[in-house]
A = this chain, B = another copy of it.
Amino acid sequence: MSGPTGAASSAVRLAAETWESLFRSQVAVMRKLQSGPAFKTLPVKEYDVLFTLSKCPSGQLRLNEINDKVLLSQSSLSRLVDRLEKRGLVERTAAPDDGRGVLLSLTEAGSELQKTIGREHVRDIAHLVGPALTPEEQRELLRLTEKLRASVAGH
């Protein structure tokens, strides 16, 4: 048996290995997904913004809310939205309650494109994840990652 130091160190090691495994699995899956034909017309990061908007009940999100969901700097998101707007897929609106804020919403074309890519994307995901894990395992993975995300978000 190791003493307290050994126990603490093994807890640290477990956390590190868990994160490493989560990260590498994300890389492996993402690599496959983004190489699919669905993302020839629109990069994954841009699709992700359309997707996030499509899932939001009000249909509108502040840029800083979107920024929380995406691994991009504030300025990069601003310019990514520029590109989406130039393509007519999203619309910027002044936030009614905050003069500094910008609300983003999907245009009709943006919504259509999201659905089109989304259908294929979801199929690709199912082909990768479905054979890898049983439904119970998927539910458990969903639960654990959601728990982790919630804990980290509440920093």
> Are A152 and B71 in contact (CB-based, < 8 A)?
no
Query: Roughly how many angstroms separate A39 CA and B148 CA in the complex, as a whole number?
Result: 22
Q: Judging by beta carbons under 8 Å apart, are A28 and B153 in contact?
A: yes
Kindly list chain B residues whose C-beta atoms are within 8 Å of the C-beta of A141: 18, 21-22, 141, 144-145, 148
Residue from A28, A133, A150 having most chain B Cβ neighbours under 10 A: A28
Query: How many chain-A residues does the 8 Å CB contact rule pick out?
Result: 52
Q: Which residues of B contact A5 (CB under 8 A)?
A: none
Among A80-88, A90-98, A122-130, the stretch in contact with B = A122-130
Beta-carbon contact of A71 and B27 below 8 Å = yes
**Are A30 and B23 within 8 A (Cβ)?**
yes
Copies of this chain, tallied across the complex? 2
Which residues of chain B are near A126, meaning CB under 8 Å? 11-12, 15-16
Contact A138 B15 (CB under 8 A): yes
* Set B12, B14, B16, B70: member contacting A27, Cβ < 8 A: B70
Residue A26 CB within 8 A of the other chain: yes
A42 at the interface (CB under 8 A from B): no
Known contacts A125-B16, A155-B32; is A137 also within 8 Å of B130 by CB? no
A48-75 interface with B by 8 A CB criterion: 69-71
Residue of B nearest to A144 (CB): B141
Which residues from B are CB-within-8-Å of A151?
128, 131-133
| Residue A29, interface by CB 8 Å | yes
Q: Which residues of B contact A28 (CB under 8 A)?
A: 148-149, 152-153
